[in-house]
A and B are shown apart, each in its own frame.
Chain A
């Protein structure tokens, strides 16, 4: 019996992109369902009633939610081209850094992005400190796990795409080649990788989307 794999995503979600990449790396055929999060489909709400978010992977009718959980599910279900290292310690490091990326790094870059001018310097310090920690993880390596793309590259993939978009909107260079030579090099390798590069959402659409988001955050509250 043929397997049925569906992926609920939006055109721009970096979390969903992780799964697009993972499925591509494993050569898994699947159906894509694009969601409009302002008008969620009954299916999405049925498969992810707790959060109503994307991505959701539905495998033979059974939903898996939360992108990092989905990545591990994909890796454990389709065991060829493994994403996570085999060694338990290396695996724990990968999980640790993926959590750091989502909990600390992403938040600090976002805080900088929506900061008013007077708060930008302080926000930048936190973002740069967090980026430095990631830079150190890449010393002597092409990708986070070595020569080939793996779990942590997919988890950090949003850096390669979204950061340059935010930089353009803010007119502020965050990941420059001098301060972050390894990270800059990783971004180049990752962007160019055949499995990765054809999946990026349209840049101009992304710029508009994030510009609007920033304006909404920075706009003073208007009286009703």
Chain B
């Protein structure tokens, strides 16, 4: 069998890139990480993802795969002999995919909304949908984990990756806005899960440290406010 050549175009602060990294780690796949410079897009990125020009892009034996959740499913299907990421039951797979779409379409934009809210009233209003969303996920965790450590049960699965990849940014948002989002009293299961997820071998070197990510967030906010710099 030909040797696998795997490259991942990405950047360390991106939760979408982190998803691909975690999935590759779960499967023990060796890959070359091609770090994009903040504020510019490499030739390779533009060539590999001409439609969106976004990271992550995984290049497997010269074939590019784009979109973080598409990449995670691809990794699961190609390296099928490794620990499985998606559950085997079609209904459980559908449930995982539903919640991953919810996280991308609703929850993550709401979390970003806290950071960009101007003033106390706006911030309070921005926090509400996030708390609501996390309450849904707390419920889903109880159903899906069946008493075990992760959404995927005994080990990290698809929804753990889809949601867990945002934990770095959730923590930064909590710190920079003095708000508790994953609250030990309100979402006790998510609280415990977050710690276990971030400590897992496939995750611990991927999700950025909160302080480092906070520093980056400040640079990012400054650049968004002053694009010419």
> A residues engaging B (CB < 8 A)?
50, 59, 62, 64-66, 69-70, 72-73, 76-77, 88-89, 91-92, 95-96, 99-100, 104, 133
Contact = CB atoms under 8 A, between A and B. Distances in A.
The dominant DSSP class at the B interface is helix
A36 B67 CA distance: 34
B184 interface: no
B110 to A, nearest CB: 13
Contacts of B94: 64, 69-70, 72-73
B141 to A, nearest CB: 15
Contact of B101 (A69, A76, A92, A133): A69
19 contacts: A50-B102, A50-B136, A59-B91, A64-B91, A64-B98, A66-B98, A69-B97, A70-B94, A72-B97, A73-B90, A88-B77, A89-B60, A91-B73, A91-B74, A92-B73, A95-B67, A95-B70, A96-B67, A133-B51
Given A73-B90, A92-B73, 10 more contacts: A59-B91, A62-B91, A64-B91, A66-B97, A66-B98, A73-B91, A76-B90, A76-B93, A91-B73, A95-B73
Interface residues of B, number: 21
Contacts of A62: 91
Contacts of B73: 91-92, 95
Contact of A100 (B51, B71, B101, B136): B51
Q: Which of A64, A66, A88, A133 has the most CB of B within 10 A?
A: A88
B77 A72 contact: no
B74 A89 contact: yes
Contacts of B78: 88
Contacts of B11: none
B102 A92 contact: no
B71 to A, nearest CB: 8
Contacts of B116: none
Contacts of A99: 67, 70
A77 B71 CA distance: 22
Contacts of A104: 51
A95 B73 CA distance: 10
Contacts of A133: 51
Given A50-B136, A62-B91, A64-B91, A96 B98 contact: no
B19 to A, nearest CB: 14
Nearest to A100: B51
Contacts of A64: 91, 94, 98
B65 interface: yes
Given A69-B101, A96-B67, A91 B77 contact: yes
B98 A89 contact: no
Contacts of B70: 92, 95-96, 99
B207 interface: no
Contacts of B136: 50
A52 to B, nearest CB: 13
Q: Which of B60, B78, B91, B101 has the most CB of A within 10 A?
A: B91
